[in-house]
Amino acid sequence: MLAGAGVLALQRWSTEDIPGWLLPALLFLLSLGLTWSPLDGAFGQDARRLNVQGLFRRDDWLRLFVGFGLGITALGWFATWDYTESIAVRSIVTSVVVVLGVALMLAPWWLRLIRQVSIERMERIREHERAEIAAHLHDSVLQTLTLIRARADEPETVSRLARAQERDLRSYLYADRADPSDSVATALADAIAEVEDVHSVAIDTVTVGDAPLSANLAAAVAASKEAATNAARHGIGPISVYAEVTADAFEVFVRDGGPGFDADAIPEDRMGIRQSIMGRVQRHHGRAVVQSNEGGKTEVTITVPKES
């Protein structure tokens, strides 16, 4: 194909009219066709598998030698072309063309090297990730399973261990755990997790948004923990905690499935509700509302401003 194009070009132009770059360019294109085919076939598309046998076939060696010979000849031909009287320009242009020409002839080889470096880097990353996962599984999951097997006759302990391990795995897999001092969502999750472990109950916790843990938000977290504790001690499931960080406030809703009580008849000595929930929130410019009735569900709504 390239030879045919060269013949057509020669037929259309006389020897004097042929541009000085045309014949070297055609010769160089022919050399690329000869060198790329065996190199690309030997190196292949998968950089991890080098088909070495392909390099030792006689016809491939012949095509490589002929291709490189034609390429070097074409580059030398171009270097002798007197296309300008400026020696400096000729030196610079010729050097650039020769370097680019050699790089093009060896393109399948250095492209494979680039792919190989990329693949090796990805494999190192995967190996590191596998090692990290294995270490975490050994330090947490396997040890927890050992404890569960040793205490199989203690249902409450097994349930507590399973819930704690579930929280740890979720935090590890989704990598969404921030420091409690910088995240009200993490602080609330830790507080509710402590209630779950102490009272052996399951509490569904959802937090929308996040914010740094200010004094107001810390008070709301403490009040929410007290409300969840009351639900775990006196209520029945399901128990849920829903929290949302808005533009200027932090709202928490703690709900249980009953059996409820008369919220209007809360005794003055019920310090858990009067002081640990309502009083604590009010001291931080917030508001706590307890909605309940005998035989029904209970909901505690806690709202505090994000800033004092």
CB atoms within 10 A of CB 133: 12
Predicted model pTM: 0.51
Number of H helices, E strands in the chain: 11, 5
Residue 157 located in a structural domain: no
Instruction: Answer whether 217's CB lies under 8 Å from 181's CB.
Output: no
Residue 166 in domain: no
Q: Looking at the structure, tell me whether residues 209 and 296 fall in a common domain.
A: yes
Kindly state whether residues 86 and 190 are assigned to the same domain.
no
pLDDT (tens place) for every residue of the chain, 308 residues total: 444 455 454 445 444 556 666 777 777 888 777 777 666 555 554 545 555 454 556 666 677 777 778 888 887 777 777 767 777 777 787 788 888 888 888 777 777 777 777 778 888 888 887 877 777 666 677 777 777 777 778 787 777 777 777 777 776 666 555 666 778 998 998 899 888 887 878 888 899 999 998 999 999 999 999 999 889 888 888 999 999 999 889 999 999 987 888 766 666 666 667 778 888 899 999 999 988 888 888 999 999 998 76
H or E segment at 6?
helix 2-12
- Tell me, what's the pLDDT at 10? 46
Residue 120 is assigned to a structural domain of this protein:
no
**Residue 242 β-bridge partners:** 206, 253
Contacts of 8 (CB under 8 A, 6+ apart): none
Residues 292, 190: one domain? Answer: yes
161 assigned to some structural domain: no
Give domain status of residue 147, yes or no.
no
Domain count, the chain: 2
User: Which whole-number Å values give the CA distances from 85 to 33, 81, 82, 92, 97, in the listed order?
Assistant: 33, 11, 7, 13, 18
Q: Within this chain, do residues 101 and 185 fall inside the same structural domain, yes or no?
A: no
Q: Which of 274, 237, 280, 270 is nearest to 255 (CA)?
A: 237
- Looking at the fold, whether 200 and 93 belong to one and the same domain comes out as no
pLDDT of 78: 75
- Among the candidates 105, 129, 144, a domain finishes at 105
Q: How far apart are CA 154 and CA 176, in angstroms?
A: 32
Q: Are residues 7 and 98 in the same domain?
A: yes
Q: 303 near 295, Cβ under 8 Å?
A: no
In a domain, 118, yes or no: no
Residues 207 and 99 in one domain: no
**Token output for 180:** 């409690």
Residues 299 and 196 in one domain: yes
- Establish if 210 belongs to a structural domain: yes
Do 97 and 207 lie in one domain? The reply is: no
Spatial distance between the Cα atoms of 110 and 137, rounded to a whole number of angstroms: 41
Q: What is the DSSP string of 273-289?
A: HIIIIIIHHHTTT-EEE
Catalogue the E-assigned strands of 144-259: 203-208, 239-245, 249-256
Strand spans (E) along 52-209: 203-208
Domain enclosing residue 32, as ranges: 2-105
Of the three residues 105, 136, 170, the one that is the final residue of a domain is 105
Domain boundary pick from 80, 105, 130:
105
Residue 16: predicted pLDDT? 52
Q: What is the pLDDT of residue 143?
A: 72
Residues 186 and 300 in one domain: yes
Q: Looking at residue 252, which CATH number applies to its domain? A: 3.30.565.10
90/197 same-domain check: no
- Tokens found for residue 236: 């029945």
Domain membership flag for residue 97: yes
Residues 295, 198 within the same domain: yes
